[in-house]
Amino acid sequence: MTNFPAPSEQADVAIMSDIDADFCRARDNQAGASHSLPRHARLPINRCNLPASIIGSLTFQQAPAALAIDGVAALHRPLFDLLNDIADAPERAQRFTGYMSAHFHLDQPEQAGLRAGRLKSRAKASYLRVLRGWATDPDGREAAVLKGWVESRFGLMPRHHGESLREPGSAAWQRYVEMRAQGLYGTNALEAQIDLLYAYSQYELARQFPRRSHLRLYRGVNRLCDHEIVAEGNAGDKVVLLNNISSFSRSIERAGEFGDSILGVDVPLTKLAFFSDLLPGMLRGEDEHVVIGGLYRVRLTTL
């Protein structure tokens, strides 16, 4: 993330990109090369440095830019200044979780305004609870909070939550909105916690992969027709409109456990919301990488 540059000692680490140029950087005459994000899949405003029409476009996948949620860098600059001086990633993770606990009073919810004896269950509704909920049920309450966070911050509308959300105002949409509201009710700046988690994720990606712009990730699927296919290409290539947040794996073998077909995607680092090595014990079961959605060129492989 450009707002939080990695220390100078990282500059000489030679890690090459694993992006497939012919796969991701489509020629102008290939199917889907000029597709833009449909209006019904985005909001006109967001809380990011780039509009949703750019963030969700196929062009962004091919030539990504840094993403910054409004105000996060300035508010938490002391944290990232501190992390710059720490060479060990596990120690940085420890300092980050300590900062989160202190800044948001996660261990002392009464300091954040929670009354003793009331809403005790909501005192534990932290960013860690959201991530655990996402890993357990991608169509549950915590998942609705994450999808709502992407909608608010990046302007990308959710496309699925238990059932299709392609019709805003439908009964399915109302259920999603209700679950999102339930997940946020009585919490302590939960979306602001996720804002900082995303910023930290971008910081760590910049340090761990200083010369890489994309990661090749995989997702197992059983019914490709459930995905919104925008264009067909050659050799199994397709342009797909993904849900506004989805899980992928860096391991094709693990992805294969969740479907008889595999989507291979070159994902910009700036569209990785969180990943399995970010914090101890987080999303480890499936080597999970949580990806912000939009249009992507994907390669379909049948097992």
How many angstroms separate the CA atoms of 155 and 148, rounded?
Answer: 9
pLDDT digits 0-9 by tens, 251-274: 999 998 888 889 999 999 999 999
298, with CB counted inside 10 A (0-12, 13-18, 19+), is buried
Give the per-residue pLDDT at 284: 64
Give CA–CA dist 293/211, Å, rounded.
23
3-state secondary structure of 94: helix
Please report which confidence band the pLDDT of residue 224 belongs to, taking 50, 70 and 90 as the band edges. confident
Helix H or strand E segment including 172? helix 171-184
* SS3 call for 210: coil
In sign, the C-alpha dihedral spanning 250, 251, 255, 257 is negative
The pLDDT of residue 300 is 87
Between 73-82, 90-99, 212-221, 223-232, the lowest mean confidence (pLDDT) is in: 223-232
pLDDT-derived band of residue 17, with 50, 70 and 90 as boundaries?
A: very low
- pLDDT above 80: residue 152: yes
pLDDT in tens, 183-196: 998 888 999 999 99
Q: Supply the pLDDT for residue 31.
A: 43
pLDDT at 182 over 50: yes
Cβ 217 vs Cβ 267: under 8 Å: yes
CA distance 119 to 53: 39
Instruction: Round to whole Å and give the CA distance between 130 and 144.
Output: 9
Mean pLDDT calculated for residue range 92-96: 97
Distance CA 55, CA 237 (A): 21
Domain boundaries, the chain: 47-55+67-208
Q: How many C-beta atoms lie closer than 10 Å to residue 189's C-beta? A: 15
Assess contact for 24 and 220: CB atoms under 8 A.
Answer: no
Tell me the whole-structure pTM to 2 decimals: 0.87
Residues ≥6 apart with Cβ < 8 Å to 237: 23, 26, 30, 31, 297, 298, 299, 300
pLDDT tens digits, residue range 41-57?
999 999 999 999 999 99
15 token code pair: 């890690």
